[in-house]
Amino acid sequence: MAALNRRLLILILLRRRSQRRKYRKRFWIRNIYSNRKAKGEYHTLVREAMLFDHEFFFQMFRMIPSKFEELLGLVAPRITRWKARREAIGPEERLAVTLRYLVTGDAFISIAASYRLSAATVGRVVKETCQVLWEVLCAKKYLNVPQTPNGWIELARGFEIRWNFPNCVGAIDGKHVTIQCPPRGGSMFFNYKKFHSVVLMAVVNSKYEFIMVDIGDYGRLSDGSVFASSNLGIAMENNMLNLPPERTLPGTNKHFPYVFVGDDAFPLRTYMVKPYPRGVIQLAKKIANYRFSRARRIVENAFGIATSRFRLFRCAITESVEVAVEATKAITVLHNFLMAGRHSEINNSYCPHDDVDVECEGHVREGLWRRQGNNCPGLQDVTNLGSNNYSVNAKNVRDNFRDYFNSNAGSVPWQQAAVTSTSDSFNINY
């Protein structure tokens, strides 16, 4: 018995020794990483571009140096690290590494080679910095959900002034963010389009800025369950958004609720309108579809601008699901941060005038993001978000808007020519 116990003790000690050998580091730091400050991309190329070539700096990070410094001032207290045994990576370099990943979508190992950091360090920096970007910029109201009826009324005023759509508080759309199959993910993220994804639902205001996002639902939740199970859909369905009460529009005697506008994929509700089904329909419905699509085009442009600027959305995200979710959240709030100052920066604007769809009396000139190619495997549409069943009240809401858009009070001079003309290349759901 004593001999047996001695053998067991020896085996345990040998196993522990082998485990220590297995996880023992081969070296403290690679030689190529030890020259980071002399040869790393941030300490050479990035700093030089920041001082002497602002145009190239904008191409690298989608913002001019003054915007980078402003953003750094907001997040630096949260991403600064101190190390006793070795010098920590500075907040400027952490932010540059994160933006490099979001803008290019390069693999961590490629970024690590350029910045003379390990791939594990790059992954940790990107994840932590994306979390901080989301938390800090949301706290600074760059992505702000209105909390009072007056806040929603202000959003609706923007749609009424810019897009002639009263009582519209936002344009909604959903996207599949393509990811690589996660380890032991099974079919949780495998969607009906035959690729792995997480779902991004977003509402956009009249200025192409995100006001509400819901990120991270499993890609397999296709069809009606995507919208119904999302926090965004639950909040709308249960009247948790504190929308204003109905109001009577000028020139009418009917009460109109405040609504979101979506495409054919979304369910028709009293709080959400969408175009009439395609086919041979009356002229009044064609005009209503034109007016609905005119406002809905805002969310298409918002996604298009974000995708053209942050190329991470143009490819499948190969990192973990957590990184994919945090990166998506960071892109949405960075988009708002950069859109907020686009009118004051003429030469290095994040979104120049030519980048978005421009309409003049029914004639649409497509934005540059459309001409760069619509084939974007990293961000694909979510379809069939609800059933075709709807209530009588929901039908009446859409019909009331149809009648208003065809009345003297709610029509625009060019709408009939816009729906009957065949020369416009823009595809509107008539």
Q: From residue 356, how far is each of 158, 166, 191 by CA, in Å?
A: 17, 22, 30
| CB burial string 251-270: b at 16+ within 10 A, e below | eeeeebbbbbbbbbbbbbbb
Task: Evaluate if residue 386 carries a pLDDT over 60.
Answer: no
Average pLDDT over residues 102-108: 93
Residue 175 β-bridge partners: 200, 381
Whether the predicted pLDDT of 354 surpasses 80 = no
Cβ proximity of 115 and 42 under 8 Å: yes
The pLDDT value recorded for residue 32 is 78
What pLDDT shows up at residue 256? 94
| pLDDT for res 422 | 58
Indicate whether 175 pLDDT > 60: yes
Average model confidence (pLDDT) for the chain? 85
Q: Out of 244-253, 314-323, 347-356, 420-429, which region has the weakest mean confidence (pLDDT)?
A: 420-429
Domain ranges across the chain: 35-139, 149-187+199-321+355-420
Q: Does residue 424 register a pLDDT over 50?
A: no
pLDDT at 230: 81
User: Does the pLDDT of residue 20 top 50, yes or no?
Assistant: yes
Among the listed ranges 130-134, 135-139, 230-234, 295-299, which one has the minimum average pLDDT value? 230-234
Q: Would you place residue 30 in the very low, low, confident or very high pLDDT band (cuts 50, 70, 90)?
A: confident
Q: Quick one: pLDDT at residue 426?
A: 45
- Cβ atoms within 10 A of the Cβ of 285, count? 20
Higher pLDDT, 346 or 134: 134
Residue 420 pLDDT greater than 90, yes or no: no
Nearest to 99 by CA among 40, 32, 35, 42: 42
- Per-residue pLDDT band for 245 (boundaries 50, 70, 90) equals very high
Q: What is the pLDDT of residues 256-314, one digit of tens each?
A: 999 999 988 888 999 999 999 887 788 999 999 999 999 999 999 999 999 989 999 98
The answer, yes or no, to whether residue 329 has pLDDT greater than 60, is yes
Can you give the pTM of this predicted structure? 0.88
Residues contacting 8, CB < 8 A, separation 6+: none
Predicted confidence (pLDDT) per residue in 43-60, tens digit: 999 999 999 999 899 999
CA separation, residue 196 to residues 164, 182, 311, 376, 380 (Å): 39, 9, 18, 15, 11
Q: 182-230 pLDDT, tens per residue? A: 887 777 888 877 888 888 999 999 999 999 998 877 777 654 567 877 8
